[in-house]
Amino acid sequence: MNNILTTTLALLKTTPDRWTRLVEALPLELLAAPPAPGHWSALECLHHIVATEVVFIFRLNCFLEKEGQQFPAYDPDAPENRYDPRKSAAELAETFTQRRAASLEQISRLSPPDLKRKAVHGQLGPVTLEEMMHEWVAHDLNHTIQAERALMQPFIAGCGPWQQYFTDHIVK
């Protein structure tokens, strides 16, 4: 990849629209259904990326404020990071859209030399801003895939003999 900043902006820009379309199109019971016990539903995935958008901006600022600054690891299972079912899917999608717009604005101000800046992750140790940009995009795509896999489960279960074509996507 020649320009991670351009690619990061392009990919991160697509995620809010994807979530908004899913939330507008699908019934709540499908969005809220976990694919299997102990796995996140699509709605829980959306909540997670809403929560972590703040984390990514905090980390970005750590890289930019002071070389070598430390930031803590993120615990998705901490009580304050868990899904709050009182928030509607539409509210979550709108919050995500707003937060992501602010993130994209900050990323758009970065330049290639910024990517070499270093910080210290509380669990992983020294990291570069370029590595975090890669992680941010991978994180987005990972939870989008996870949510879509959750949404697939009732359709896979109901497709009869075609189910054999989806074995890689069945959540156990």
Q: Rounded to an integer, what distance in angstroms lies between the CA atom of residue 147 and that of residue 22?
A: 10
Confidence of residue 81 (pLDDT cuts 50, 70, 90): confident
Instruction: Name the domain count of the chain.
Output: 1
pLDDT digits (tens, 9 = 90+) for 130-150: 999 999 999 999 999 999 999
Tokens of 158: 């109901």
CATH of residue 127's domain is: 1.20.120.450
pLDDT digits (tens, 9 = 90+) for 25-56: 999 999 999 999 999 999 999 999 999 999 99
Confidence of residue 129 (pLDDT cuts 50, 70, 90): very high
Q: Is the pLDDT of residue 2 over 80?
A: no
Asked whether the beta carbons of 4 and 136 are under 8 A apart, the reply is: no
Q: Rounded to an integer, what distance in angstroms lies between the CA atom of residue 101 and that of residue 84?
A: 23
Host domain of residue 105: 4-169
pLDDT digits (tens, 9 = 90+) for 86-97: 889 999 999 999
Asked whether the beta carbons of 99 and 54 are under 8 A apart, the reply is: yes
H-state helical runs in the chain: 4-25, 28-32, 42-65, 89-108, 129-157
